[in-house]
Amino acid sequence: MDRWIAAHPALRRTTDPLVVDLGFGASAWTTIELFSRLREVRPDARVTGLEIDPVRVRLAAPHVREGLDFAVGGFDVPLDGGRRPAVIRAANVLRQYDEHEGEGAWRLMRERLQPDGLLLEGTSNEVGRVASWVGLDPEGPRTFTISLHLPSLERPSIVAQRLPKALIHRNVPGESVHALLRDLDAHWAHHAALGAFSARQRWVATVRGLRAAGWPVRDTEVRWRLGELTVDWAAVAPLS
């Protein structure tokens, strides 16, 4: 997720590279890692970690430095001076809410973005090797991304366990995200022989096959080789 944000125009082109890590959790390390990675591409980037638990904010305080701070806050993203972030990352936050609450949380966070801002909301496993997220702008969801650690990958549909809240209950026959994961597994199996060369080559062939089959795959091989797949949100959005 950090890598995807670092490459996104919302960060690259803004004149105010303020990023919020919403719900950083019991440890501040994911926020610190995000800060370090974004500073490599935007040395002027500023990152604020937000948590609704004041104790977690106090525990993070020793890590404050120039460009990195922590504060109490939730989906309303309260920032000093009413500043608007270029990017909000909400990782593993909505998974604890009911599905019907997700749209309201999206709306609150989207309203806080800069005009060309990005909200990244999704879920990952504990070590970040299986992840997926929705990319939203101030108007609504635009993309859905899967990111997998290719050397350890058995089958792409393992991401079903880590779908965003908006999709995790939709992985059933008749829903679009179910069809995507089904086709993804089928193409992965079809290109199994390429695994003898590398999992990366197998994955790139898999993504090419999906695109040839009509899925609205975004980006180029540069991103695919990282274990990513991004499609238009409309292709996987819940049907009802």
Query: How far is 195 from 192, CA to CA, in rounded Å?
Result: 5
Region class of 209: left (phi > 0), else alpha (psi between -120 and 50), else beta:
alpha
Instruction: Report the alpha-carbon angle 217-212-224, nearest 5.
Output: 45
Reading the block at residue 117, the tokens are 């801002």
**Contact present, 156 and 146 (Cβ < 8 Å):** yes
Q: For residue 198, which phi and psi values (nearest 5 degrees)?
A: -175, 155
Residue range 182-240, pLDDT digits in tens:
999 999 999 999 999 999 999 999 999 999 999 999 999 999 999 999 999 999 999 97
**pLDDT reported for residue 127:** 86
Cα–Cα nearest to 34, from 17, 47, 50 = 47
Give 220's DSSP letter. Answer: -
For residue 44, give the 3-state DSSP assignment.
coil
**pLDDT reported for residue 184:** 98
Please state, rounded to an integer, the average pLDDT across all residues of the chain: 96
For the segment 1-9, the average pLDDT, to the nearest whole number, is 96
For residue 129, CA distances in Å to 133, 150, 182, 199 come to: 13, 9, 20, 14
Reading the block at residue 139, the tokens are 């108007």
Model confidence at 34, pLDDT cuts 50, 70, 90, reads very high
**Contact present, 13 and 78 (Cβ < 8 Å):** no
**pLDDT reported for residue 104:** 93
**pLDDT reported for residue 76:** 94
Reading the block at residue 11, the tokens are 């960060």
Query: How far is 214 from 158, CA to CA, in rounded Å?
Result: 22
For the segment 82-86, the average pLDDT, to the nearest whole number, is 95
Largest alpha-carbon pair distance within the chain? 57
**pLDDT reported for residue 78:** 92
Residue range 63-79, pLDDT digits in tens:
999 999 999 999 999 99
**pLDDT reported for residue 97:** 86
Cβ contacts of 224 within 8 Å, gap of 6 or more:
203, 204, 207
pTM of the model: 0.95
